[in-house]
């Protein structure tokens, strides 16, 4: 019964899993705007690659990323866990940060992989914010999506960002909001040293919601006039219709981070490529099951879905 509590699921899944260390090989991807992304690889010499996108204030070292990477490598896949700007342990160079709609960053990673390797199949996995980015990317690319993208899984997806912000503004989710704001403030302090005239932390303590935070920082730093516009343009829900590769969305109905509007039942009903699976329990990116020190149900389901999608995809001979 304890694991039916969404907060226990969420906190145990994020902080208390014992995941064996992954021996990543780091590569720095220099971007055309003068910034960089740090890519962490596990290469087994396979023809399949899994690209993993982490969530808000996560990284390639987050427990859920490590667990997914371990499951994939044990199944023989190569893995690339990429770190969004400022999330690799080193501040990024530009005023620009990262945010829930930065699908162009995933595009940079995917284009680099496709242009510099001979992988026949590339699968995408995104958690939380990374899930929103993944779904948005797939919908935006639509018919231009490279045929080597064999499938995708998005887990605990805040596909309606406004609804997610409202869910995290409730008293019962204040602990999560405070955790994220504390972490984001540390990064803003680092960035302020480089951009003194562009970032002010005065009265930061008055921020009481993500709507406050995004209106003051995320929106202006990334070219949006306000938080509402940022949410409207960056929510992946509107892009689901355009997806044309096998895609699985895994959400839990008791997820404390998500509003009911984050469960896109209408958008996925009768969709030829997108499947929505809703569980009764799971929390946010938790999905703990027996043997939880290893794989969660979501990670197991993701690997199963993507392995099947890879087998069904046409082969691309790049020799």
* pLDDT of res. 1: 44
**Cα 105 to Cα 84: distance, rounded to the nearest angstrom:** 8
pLDDT, the chain, mean: 92
Query: Is 99 inside a domain boundary?
Result: yes
User: How large a percentage of the chain has pLDDT more than 70?
Assistant: 94
Alpha-helix runs per DSSP H in 80-160: 103-116, 129-141
Query: Is 243 inside a domain boundary?
Result: yes
Q: What is the domain range of residue 236?
A: 2-312
The answer to whether 249 and 132 have CB atoms below 8 angstroms apart is: no
3-state secondary structure 280-306: CCCCCCCCCCCCCCCCCHHHHHHHHHH
pLDDT digits (tens, 9 = 90+) for 224-240: 999 999 999 999 999 99
Query: Is 172 inside a domain boundary?
Result: yes
Query: Is 317 inside a domain boundary?
Result: no
Query: Is 319 inside a domain boundary?
Result: no
> How would DSSP label each residue in 205-265?
GG--SHHHHIIIIIHHHTT-SSHHHHHHHH-GGGGGGG--S-EEEEEETT-TT--GGGS-H
The answer to whether 98 and 294 have CB atoms below 8 angstroms apart is: no
Domains of the chain: total: 1
**pLDDT score of 6 more than 50:** yes
pLDDT digits (tens, 9 = 90+) for 115-131: 998 999 999 999 999 99
pLDDT digits (tens, 9 = 90+) for 244-263: 999 999 999 999 999 999 99
Question: Residue 21: which CATH number?
Answer: 3.40.50.1820
Under the banding of pLDDT at 50, 70 and 90, the label for residue 290 is low
**pLDDT score of 271 more than 70:** yes
């Amino acid at each position: 019964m304890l694991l039916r509590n969404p907060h226990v699921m969420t906190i145990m899944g994020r902080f208390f899993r014992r995941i064996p260390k992954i021996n990543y090989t780091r590569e720095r991807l220099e971007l055309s705007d003068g910034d960089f992304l740090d890519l962490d690889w596990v290469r087994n010499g396979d023809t399949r690659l899994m690209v993993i996108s982490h969530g808000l204030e996560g990284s390639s070292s987050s427990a859920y990323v490590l667990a997914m990477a371990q499951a994939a490598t044990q199944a023989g896949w190569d893995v690339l866990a990429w770190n969004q700007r400022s999330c690799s342990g080193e501040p990024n160079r530009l005023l620009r940060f990262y945010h829930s709609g930065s699908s162009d960053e995933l595009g940079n990673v995917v284009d680099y992989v496709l242009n510099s390797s001979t992988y026949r199949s590339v699968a995408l996995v995104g958690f939380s914010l990374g899930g929103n980015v993944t779904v948005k990317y797939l919908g935006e690319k639509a018919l231009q999506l490279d045929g080597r993208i064999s499938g995708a899984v998005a887990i605990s997806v805040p596909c309606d960002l406004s609804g997610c912000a409202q869910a995290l503004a409730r008293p019962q989710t204040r602990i999560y909001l405070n955790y994220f704001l504390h972490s984001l403030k540390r990064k803003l302090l680092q960035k302020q040293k480089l951009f003194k005239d562009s970032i002010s932390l005065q009265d930061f303590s008055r921020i009481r919601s993500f709507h406050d935070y995004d209106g003051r920082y995320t929106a202006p730093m990334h070219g949006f006039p306000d938080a509402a516009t940022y949410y409207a343009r960056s929510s992946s829900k509107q892009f689901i219709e355009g997806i044309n590769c096998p895609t699985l969305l895994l959400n839990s109905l008791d997820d404390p981070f998500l509003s009911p509007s984050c469960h896109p039942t209408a958008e996925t009903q009768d969709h030829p490529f997108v499947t929505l699976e809703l569980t009764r329990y799971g929390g946010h990116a938790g999905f703990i099951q027996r043997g939880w020190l290893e794989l969660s149900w979501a990670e197991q389901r993701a690997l199963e879905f993507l392995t099947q999608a890879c087998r069904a995809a046409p082969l691309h001979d790049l020799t």
